[in-house]
Structure 1
Amino acid sequence: MGVQDHTESKLEPSVVLTGFAKESNGPSIGLVDIGVCHSAFLFRVALPSIKNDQSKLKCEIQRDGKVIIQGMITQGTGLLQEQSSKCKMIVEKFCSPGPFTISFNLPGPVDPRLFSPNFRPDGILEVVVMRNRNPSAPVDAWAPLS
C-alpha cells in the first residue's frame, strides 16, 4: 500500500486569517504549505514582519489536526524616525501592527504532544507533527514559540 493517497496529493488547505493578518496590505501573512509522509505532517507558514522575541507567537495543535497560530505584529507604524528626522509614510506595504490568528486543518488526526516547531530567521514557521496512531490520545497541545 502506498504512503500517499490521491486526496492528499491534491490537498489545498483552507486557511482562516483574522485580525491584522486578514487586513494586511503588506507581505502575505498566512501562506501555508503542507507536506505529508507516512508517520508525520510538516507544515510551513509565512509570517513576514513577525519577530519571535516580540510577537508572543503561539502555536496550538489539536488532535483532529486543527492548527491555530496566534501572535502580535509589532512593526509597521505610520511614522519612521531616523535620529533627528521624522517621516510620515505615504506608501505602506508592511503589515499593520496588531494581533492576528491563522487557523487551518491538517489532512488527518495527529498526536499534538509530538510536534517540533522551528521559527526560522526568514519569517517561516516550520512544524513537524506526528500522525495519530492511537485514537485515544488524551490532550491537545500548544507551545509558546519564544
Structure 2
Amino acid sequence: MDAQDFSDTSQLKPSVVLTGTAKEGSAAPPIGLVDIGTSDSAYLFRVALPGVCKDQCKVKCEIQRDGRVHIEGVITGGVLKDTSTVYLMRVQELCPPGPFTISFNLPGPVDPRLSSPTFRPDGILEVVVMKYRTPPIPPP
C-alpha cells in the first residue's frame, strides 16, 4: 500500500446508523462497528455483533444494488439456556435484548446476487459482495 492508497482509506469510513437495542448498548462491547475492504472486483465488510448468537437472533442482511447494506435482527437475552440449565441474567453488560438494525453504504454499486455471508463464531458477520460491472457491449 503506497501513500496515495493510505490517504484514500479515510473515504471508506462508513456512516453507520444504529437503532433499537444496538443504540442503547453503551457499556457493552460496541455492536455495529463496521470494517470495509476493497479489491478490484469485490467489497468485503465485517460487522461486529458481540453477544449475538447466530442460531437465536435470526440476523438478516439485505444488500441493495446501490451498495446500501441493511442488517437487522433480534437479540435474545435475559434467560440463557444450555443443555441442562437455565440462567436468568442479573447483570447485562452486552447489548440489551430486543430488535436492532445497522445500516451503511459500501463505496460503490454491487451485484447483491453475488454475495457470500458468513456469521463467524466470534460474533463477526463477514460478507464478500461483488462490485457491479456494466456488461461489455459486443462489437457490431
Q: TM range, normalised to the smaller chain?
A: 0.7 to 0.9
1:73 pairs, out of 72, 75, 98, with 75
Q: Structure 2 counterpart of 1:73, which letter? A: I
Post-superposition Cα deviations, 1:50-101, rounded to whole Å, max 9, x if no partner, equal 11111111000000000000001112x2x789x99x8773x53121100000
**Normalized against structure 2, the TM-score is what?**
0.80
Cα distance in structure 1, aligned partners of 2:76 and 2:93: 14
Per-residue deviation, 1:6 = 7.3
Q: Normalized per residue, which structure has more helix?
A: 2
% identical aligned pairs: 66
Alignment partner, residue 46 of structure 1:
48
> In angstroms, what is the RMSD of aligned CA positions?
2.5
Give the direction of change, closer, same or farther, for the CA distance of 1:133–1:121 in structure 2 (3 Å limit). Answer: same
Q: Structure 2 counterpart of 1:133, which letter? A: R
Q: How does 1:1-146 map to 2 (within 5 A)?
A: 8-10=8-10, 11-25=12-26, 26-75=28-77, 77=78, 89=90, 91-134=91-134
Structure 2 unaligned regions, length at least 5 = 136-140
Per-residue deviation, 1:12 = 1.1
Give the direction of change, closer, same or farther, for the CA distance of 1:5–1:88 in structure 2 (3 Å limit). Answer: closer
